[in-house]
Structure 1
């Protein structure tokens, strides 16, 4: 028996934009179904919102998302304009990470070059919590909150020793 876990993100009208963004970062197939696709009248508020969305790549990246039903659309959410402080409740202080978020998404790549590519794209319009740099456990480790308010940990797999 085997199982697979997939992070499922909840948005307020931004699920489509977030999924399209994550597909641009990680590649893969994008699947989106709206509330209207499942029978909500096309002119009803929220009919174009995402009821089921997923990005899945051959390389192993997978994330799901939807727009919370009945919640007002909050385009861009809190000020998430270019350069805005989106880290919100996640920050580094006195050498430790302080947060009130219940989870982070973690992506581990095989090379620093690979991780740097993800970092460069995910960080656009977001906020750096901890810059991508070598650490005691990894050739590259960093933390950021993207423009959709999702906090990511990116690192490079440490070389295996025999």
Structure 2
């Protein structure tokens, strides 16, 4: 029989994975696409390099996504006036509308996932997850932080 700890982490990993996959399918947009838009919406104008670092994606993927979004009118690019070797990317008004829709979809999705779970149980799980993350930070090498990009 599987040890409790193994079951716990197995369920946690699959719940996270399934939630991301289901939300991405409902949105009809890849995770990399919606995360890039949400990151720009949250942080404002960012360099190509900062997007690459924050999203843990290679430069070619960031370039491809930014070009697609620019062609769709969701983002704009400009040279960094302080260093023209860098490109700065920001959302257009259309991009802000898309991120508002993503955030609204995420709120609806979260409410559906939490349906039928009493508030006190939700709060207990949240406390456990916060403690897990705190414990992980204690054992993580310095500078190895992974940002969360959620709507």
TM-score (norm 1): 0.24
Higher fraction of strand: 1
Q: Which structure would you say has the larger RCO, counting Cα contacts within 8 Å and 6 or more residues apart?
A: 2
Higher fraction of helix: 2
TM-score (norm 2): 0.25
